[in-house]
Amino acid sequence: MAKKLILGFAGEMAAGKGTAAKYLLENSGAVTYRFSSMLRDVVRRLHLPEDRLTMQRTSTALRREFGEDLMAKVMFEDAKKDEHQLIVIDGVRRLEDVKYLREIPEFKLCYITAPMKTRYERLIVRGENADDNTKTFAQFEEDHQGEPEREITKLEAFAAEVIDNTGTLPDLYRQLDQIVKKYGE
């Protein structure tokens, strides 16, 4: 890889954003930043439960108070200062985020897709949030009605690359390698 590349991963919950980021971290020397990490930091500091509803409410309150692009500004500053050649921003969720991050010349938005049933099965297995392991499919569908989730699907139209994550892990990895090669040289 010859030049700096910043990949922003967007997609509905459990589409494979974290898996893609982990692969690039372990195989391409990437560094990763997650929108949810800063929210988890705030939620933990406030001693609130780390569930999806609390994270969504915290995000909404912070953005309402400090601007819709607050979290994108944090990611922008972190990525801009980072010396790594490959940076992954995991969990881009809003058009305001994309508009702000696109100010970085090296930034490319990648939208990761997978069918809802596949994503639900992945969510149950990974158990990232406190309530994931016990979530029913109906609750998972209901989670998609939350304000942040409704915004995510709009981002596909702004993606430099759309990654189909319905196949195997090697299929996903092959697509990621092609993107890094395409934009990193």
Summarised one tens digit per residue, pLDDT across range 121-180 is 988 888 776 677 788 899 888 888 876 677 898 999 999 999 999 999 999 999 999 999
For the chain, domains (ranges, CATH) are 5-184 (3.40.50.300)
CA 13, 19, 25, 28 dihedral sign is negative
Residue 1 pLDDT class (50, 70, 90 cuts)? low
